Amino acid sequence: MTKILVFLFLFFLNYSFGQDIHFSQNFIDRMYLNPSLIGDLQENSHRISVQRKSQWNSISVPFSTFSISYEHKNIIKGLNLGVQFLNDKSGDSELTLNQMNIALSKNFNVLKVNRFSVGTILGVAQKNLDFSELIFEEEEDFLNTSFIYPDIGIGINYKTNPYQILSYNVGVSSFHINKPNHSFNEDDNIKLSLKNNYHIGVKYIYQSDIIVYSSVMFTNQESSRELLIGSRVELELDEVKLIPLVYYRLEDAIILGIGVEKNNIQANMSYDINTSDLNIASNNKGGFEFSLIYKWKKKKKNIVETIEEKCPKYL
């Protein structure tokens, strides 16, 4: 039993180091997908998203991932601003990541109705370990239980006119391009591997009250590969939108979910059904994911000018 626990600890510790955090609802926090997407708000000018995922409850202490991000469109002449906070906590060791990111993107019009955008993301991350709840058969040599490192990413995206019946966007982003050292031992030089996202999205306006969004995202980070494909549908019913979604992460999970939107507030819930080799241990159980989005317009100041007319005086 002890060997099994040690194996699971080492497996999840390696999993946490070897692969970035990932969400199934990749359309929520766009900074996580591609920093060039921030500010893509059409008729709105501000956006806040909150996202939380919990998984591996049946194998270990649940892995918990949380993000909150804010976007400001056209903060300075076509320049968009994004701010993001990430928190990820893994297993019994409470391997914890806290990261604060700031992103900027710039839009360029193409043929007046299409758009090309570029973006960059700069962040500072901290990782912590807690051994108080762990028992090792042999002493483990960890010199530090916490360290801080900088993080840099870039992205580009091309998007056609979203008001057409059929439109699309295609983008590429790269994270950890500075390859920071992320080892708990100062003597080791373990680089955080470059992560690349390649994504394509298609928007189809079937009717004025039915819009279908389909997407494909491929991610590679060193030896890790991930392919996520799926669709979500916006069904407008009176004053409420229903948003069912179905995604599939190749050789890993089937994702089913539902969302509701009203008055620029959208709430989504999804569940990962595990289909990977770990399904025996997890009993096909994956994890819940919840998210909220709120968008609003910038209020315009009403300037009222009063003109005082002076009547001429006649003698």
* Residue 114 clears pLDDT 90, i.e. is over it: yes
Counting Cβ atoms within 10 Å, is residue 171 exposed (0-12), middle (13-18) or buried (19+)? Answer: buried
**b/e for 274-295, b at 16 or more Cβ within 10 A?**
bbeebeeebeebbbbbbbbbbb
Average pLDDT, rounded, for the chain = 84
- What distances in angstroms separate CA 34 from CA 25, 104, 202, 306, one per listed residue? 14, 11, 16, 48
Number of domain units in the chain: 1
Asked if the structure places residue 304 within a domain, the reply is no
Which range, 9-18, 195-204, 217-226, has the best average confidence (pLDDT)? Answer: 195-204
Asked if the structure places residue 285 within a domain, the reply is yes
* Residue 8 clears pLDDT 90, i.e. is over it: no
Per residue in 190-218, pLDDT (tens digit) is: 889 999 999 999 999 999 999 999 999 99
| CB distance 38 to 171 below 8 Å | no
Which pLDDT band, with edges at 50, 70 and 90, does 90 fall under? confident
- Residue 71 and residue 41: Cα distance in Å, rounded? 9
Asked if the structure places residue 302 within a domain, the reply is no
CATH number at residue 131: 2.40.160.40
Per residue in 30-71, pLDDT (tens digit) is: 998 999 999 999 889 999 999 999 876 655 667 889 999 999
| CB distance 90 to 12 below 8 Å | yes
| Residue 247, amino acid | Y
Asked if the structure places residue 307 within a domain, the reply is no
Instruction: Among 108-117, 199-208, 303-312, name the one with the lowest average pLDDT.
Output: 303-312
Comparing 246 with 78, the larger pLDDT belongs to 246
Which residues does 4 contact at the CB level (< 8 Å), separation at least 6? none
Asked if the structure places residue 308 within a domain, the reply is no
Which pLDDT band, with edges at 50, 70 and 90, does 29 fall under? very high
- Residue 250 and residue 225: Cα distance in Å, rounded? 9
Domain range spanning residue 277?
2-296
Asked if the structure places residue 301 within a domain, the reply is no
Asked if the structure places residue 312 within a domain, the reply is no
Per residue in 279-300, pLDDT (tens digit) is: 655 566 678 999 999 999 977 6
Asked if the structure places residue 44 within a domain, the reply is yes
Q: Give pLDDT, residue 112.
A: 85
Q: Give pLDDT, residue 180.
A: 93
- Residue 83 and residue 121: Cα distance in Å, rounded? 9
Comparing 81 with 307, the larger pLDDT belongs to 81
Tell me the mean pLDDT in the region 108-135: 87
- pLDDT > 70: percent of the chain: 79
